[in-house]
Amino acid sequence: MNKFSKFAVLFLVAVVLCLTGCGKKAKVTGTVKFSDGTPLNVGTVNFTDGTNLFRGEIQPDGTFEMRTFKPGDGVLKGSYKVYLTETLQFGATGKRVLKGPNGEDIEMEVIGNTTSTIDPKYSDPEQSGMTIDVKGNMTYDITIE
């Protein structure tokens, strides 16, 4: 068997493996709620394996659907660390005076103060304590303490 034939056989084996399950995507949906049952109504659920990143926008009722590029396209099967990024809420606007590098007063317009409703650990894939093993279509519910 020449080099081209060996390459062709290996290529065909790789194609068959991929067509029979390797690299297929799965639909992952779920909810994000606080321990009292109240839904987190803003933000994003993120899955990462250090190379890939998949996201699902949290809806006002706390539900989400993970995606790769567009809604409904799912995520690759695999093991992931899970973390949340929250869209911050803005408060009142106004003026604020800060000290400049030479001690001078600098007046700035404040658009709003941001607040977060979740513990910062949930925003870090290394500290969230959440993982998922996606083997097929599934529901993944998250409870925030």
pLDDT (tens digit, 9 = 90+) per residue, 65-90?
Answer: 999 999 989 999 999 999 999 865 55
Q: Are 74 and 67 in contact (CB under 8 A)?
A: yes
- Which of 54, 4, 66 shows the shortest CA–CA distance to 29? 66
The predicted model scores a pTM of 0.68
The pLDDT-based confidence of 14 (bands split at 50, 70, 90) is very low
Contact criterion met (CB below 8 Å) for 64 and 30: yes
